[in-house]
Amino acid sequence: MENMMTDKNTSIVYAGGTDRGKVRQQNQDSILMSEFEHSNAVLLLVADGVGGHKGGEVASKLAVDTIQAYVAKAILQAHSGGGYGSDWLSLTLKHAIADANLHIMEQQKLNFDLNNMATTIVAMLIHDNEVAISHLGDSRCYQYSQQLLKQVTEDHTMLQKMLNEGKINQHEFEIMPMHHMISQAIGLVDDPDIQANRLELNQNRIYLLCSDGLTNCVSDEQIKLILEKNECLETAVDELITRANDNGGVDNISVIIVKSEVMAN
């Protein structure tokens, strides 16, 4: 578990893990938890790769590496005199994901074996007690606070899109079998609709980033109970992954948990 001070009164603690699961031969998920020199920023990423035998693994790794490199460069520029403007967090995340999309699209054209590769992403950037979140696909961010678990992101799937457009109702949404057909991802289209939202980092508020390998096997109620009973984030990560495997482990499973804590004087 990592622990980083954002100011003299607040620390950020986080932990994460990824697992192949019980069915897949490869782990095509990638996670990243990164701090940066000259900054108290933290970057947290979960990517779930898709696209053939090697494509998914390449896509998710390329995405997290490209996003990390872009954020590191943006931090260096800010530290060197550009400063951190009011929209710096959101814009940096959006541009970093767009850069990853460009890199993956380029690799698709250069390597026929990778021409179908793509990856979901859920990305969190923290700086000075401020948080931005962005995602493409069905990897999720949850917020847990005051014994309530809330999904912060909305899945980018074809069914969710049809529901939002009024083409199907809630009952049809729940019973139809196309829940895993994603409508947005890195590497899917030239110009994805990348949104970034600001979140609050209040005392003892927990955020969970995860791939659908967790949420397809572990219900929101089970997730809430595991977060509720485990103060140690590493233990919570391990238990979430174990529960997903116990419930079938049908996909790769990736989890990152982050929590803010007010330090005692």
Show pLDDT as tens, one digit a residue, over the chain (265 residues).
Answer: 666 655 556 789 999 999 999 999 999 999 999 999 888 899 999 999 998 768 999 999 999 999 999 999 999 999 888 788 889 999 999 999 999 999 999 999 999 999 999 999 999 999 988 999 999 999 999 999 989 999 999 999 888 888 888 898 888 888 887 778 899 999 999 999 999 999 988 878 999 999 999 999 999 999 999 999 999 999 999 999 999 999 999 999 999 999 987 665 5
Q: How far is CA 42 from the centre of its chain?
A: 13
Number of other CB atoms surrounding residue 20 within 10 Å: 17
Domain that holds residue 225: 2-262
pTM for this entry: 0.94
In total, how many domains does the chain have?
A: 1
**Short-list 22, 29, 35, 26, CA closest to 59:** 29
Cβ atoms of 207 and 199 within 8 Å: the answer is: yes
- Report residue 200 as tokens: 């609050």
* CATH code: domain of residue 98: 3.60.40.10
Site of tokens 């909305």? 154
Element (H, E) at 110: helix 88-110
